[in-house]
Amino acid sequence: MNLETLRHSASHIMADAVKQLYPGVKLGIGPAIEDGFYYDFDRKEPFTPEELDKVEKKMRQIIKEDQEFTKEVISKKEAVKLFKSRREPYKLGLLDELKADEVSIYRHGKFVDLCKGPHIKSTGGVKALKLLSVAGAYWRGNENNTMLQRIYGTAFETEKELEGYLKIIEEAKKRDHRKLGKELGYFTIQNDIGAGLVLYHPRGAMLRTIIEDYIKKEHIRRGYQLVIGPHILKSDIWVRSGHYDYYKENMYIFKIEKQEFAIRPMNCPGHMLVYKSRIRSYRELPLRLFELGTVYRNEKSGVLHGLLRVRGFTQDDAHIFCLKEQLEDEIVGVIDFVAETLKVFGFEDFEVEISTRPPKSIGDESDWEEATAALKKALDNKKLDYKINEGEGAFYGPKIDIKLKDALGRPWQCATIQCDFALPDRFGLVYTDRDGKRVKPVMIHRVILGSIERFIGALMEHYAGAFPLWLSPEQVKIIPITSSQVDFSRELASKLREDDIRPILDERSVKMQKKIRDAELEKIPYMAVVGEKEVRAGSVSVRSKKDGDLGVMKIEEFIKKLKEEIRQKGGGLYGKST
């Protein structure tokens, strides 16, 4: 049985149950999603947990009745008449958007919905389901529209699969980066600043700096050259790139002295202008330009979600300008870069997708075919499995999306590799070949980590906030037992800093047990407890977040241990930390 079809059928059953229990509720839409399904409802009173239980109970009754799903194709005029009679304004709004003369509806029992399907044979085919939560959602994702109530649920073919998923959900709640970010002091998103805009606190800023320093060093090591572009560019540039026509609704546009500008939603135009600043020879290619570029996108408030979907974020963005005959090797090089980087950060598995030409796009069909073939060939070269997302590419070229899998097996969008023949043409980019002729280069848009914000969110949930030593903003908490050991502890902190280790000293006048407990809650990898014996011996009593009490160590021995663990990174050892 197709799981997506099963879940979409469950969403119809949920809508039927809600309408039976609360007849005045108006129906929105109810698709299957990656881990389940949802349905949007217009109801003045918020759904309570007790009401969700009632809805689920009614759903089970509908399932027990094993009502058949039937499809009907009717004229749009008939559909308008039907949903007017049923007083469903949102369905009428959907019909108004449709240009087709005929539409399909699905029925089961007395319930009917506007839907293209497919569905399972009957309601009895849903064997295992659970309603999960309620959230607000603007109709069609537009904050100017009515706020609806979205009920989320999930369904599986067996109760065993459902139970396994619910256990993951419970663990995911503990790992929620929004909860951890606030509790551990990494970041906040405050209304005073604006929705979707991240304020990094000291720990979060340090974590981000560690990640950015690592990824910048790796780019330089692999032959990339650093560039930096402005955050605003004249709108003429975005018209030339096509973003103004294809992406304008997601851009922040304003005027200065009658000249229109836009805050950059992408970094590519700036990199192309760096390339175009002088004549390039084929001997210079491939040319790899890299920037930790901050961009801003006008995301609807209804889709904002912690660090995962924000309005301002930074990408480890690069553009590779190359000859056609270099294209496959460059794509393979990026794939290797991604795989190696994910492993360093503790992610052992990922999944791959290729997205092809969308209906609204630029460029020649032959270029799109050649670009898509190059992406496929590179993945085949690496013997990587992938699935095809038809029509989901960027407007200027097809792309590879690489999604990392965290400790709970959940996918997170990470790297993207986009092959582009169109924008170099729009910007008039050329190089001189061996014969002195001017030839258009191919451009690869690519990110390794993707959005740094999203990557931090994924890291926090992967490690449940208990980062490996090299990533932890605070690596050692020094705990003097009494005030008489504070001077020694300060000297120890200074010595650790000299060795590029990040300590924090707890000088509070509280019991040692509280200091230790707080360090555990803060998920700091190591504690160095200092008493009178340790001061006399020039040592520390070491406790590890991962391995517990490690006993007394000489300071030099402790530093050596820390430096070796940092050198090895050891990210994969911590994936199941709590």
Please give the pLDDT value at position 180: 95
Q: Annotate 514-547 with DSSP letters as a single string.
A: HHHHHHHHTT-SEEEEE-HHHHHHTEEEEEETTT
Query: Is it true that the peptide bond before 118 is cis, omega within 30 degrees of 0?
Result: yes
Name the residue among 387, 468, 255, 193 with its Cα closest to residue 459: 468
* Catalytic, out of 12, 175, 177, 297: 297
CATH number of 476-574: 3.40.50.800
Domain boundaries, the chain: 3-171, 182-231+264-463, 476-574
For residue 329, what are the β-bridge partners?
A: none
Residue 410: strand, helix, or coil: coil
Which residue out of 7, 40, 67, 268 is catalytically annotated?
268
268 is annotated as an active-site residue = yes
Q: Quick one: 182-231+264-463 is in which CATH superfamily? A: Bira Bifunctional Protein; Domain 2 (3.30.930.10)
317 carries an active-site annotation: yes
Q: pTM for this one?
A: 0.83
Run means of pLDDT, 10 residues per run, the chain, 578 residues: 91 97 96 92 94 96 96 95 96 92 95 94 95 89 85 95 91 92 94 93 97 96 96 94 88 94 94 96 97 93 86 96 95 96 93 92 90 94 93 90 90 92 93 96 96 96 95 96 94 96 94 92 96 95 93 96 89 37
Catalytic residue, chosen from 300, 445, 462, 515, is: 445
Residue 356 CA to its chain's centroid (Å): 21
**CATH 3.40.190.10 correct for 3-171:** no
CA distances from 203 to 193, 209, 352, 504 (A): 19, 10, 32, 11
Q: Is 319 a catalytic residue?
A: yes
Of the residues 399, 462, 515, 545, which is catalytic? 399
| 454 in catalytic set | no
- Is 315 known to be catalytic? yes
- The single residue of 317, 367, 425, 506 carrying the catalytic annotation is 317
Catalytic residue among 315, 326, 418, 475: 315
pLDDT for res 570? 57
**Active-site pick, 19, 311, 319, 405:** 319
